[in-house]
Structure 1
């Protein structure tokens, strides 16, 4: 009994016909999942933070704590 020879001609194109659309589809699904699982919540968290953020109040708190070397606290 002899084994049949493997068909090598056109093997790459035959495999690519299946794997290339699969790879594109999976990468598209991964990109969409990353967008809605990571970037959208992060953008919402930034928006919520800056909705109530007062930069002047934060600056005055850091100034009173002595964080800045070129700004004197208002108590002196």
Structure 2
């Protein structure tokens, strides 16, 4: 009968052990999400801006806006 008794759970330090595990897990997940954001959003956005400004002619754009009479102070 005495061998059928369950062992007492170890309660001392339980919170600190669980927090340590969850903090490490949260850190790893946050690094993964940051890496995915960099690869999936930031790099393509930088490439799109670089491609746009590689052939951008601001004077041509200004003249087109001037012809469309967007500006009130320029004739």
| Band of TM-score, shorter chain | 0.7 to 0.9
Give structure 2 stretches of 5+ with no counterpart: none
Select which of 23, 26, 33 maps to 1:23.
Answer: 26
Q: How many pairs were matched up? A: 72
Q: Which residue pairs with 1:62 in the alignment? A: 65
Give structure 1 stretches of 5+ with no counterpart: none
Q: Which string of whole-angstrom CA distances, capped at 9 and with x for unpartnered residues, describes residues 16-62 of structure 1? A: 12111111001001001100100000000000000011000000000
Q: Which residue pairs with 1:48 in the alignment? A: 51
Note the aligned Cα RMSD (angstroms): 1.8
- What TM-score, normalized by structure 1, do the two folds share? 0.83
State the alpha-carbon separation in 2 of the partners of residues 6 and 71 from structure 1.
81
- What TM-score, normalized by structure 2, do the two folds share? 0.84
Tell me the CA shift for residue 4 of structure 1: 6.6
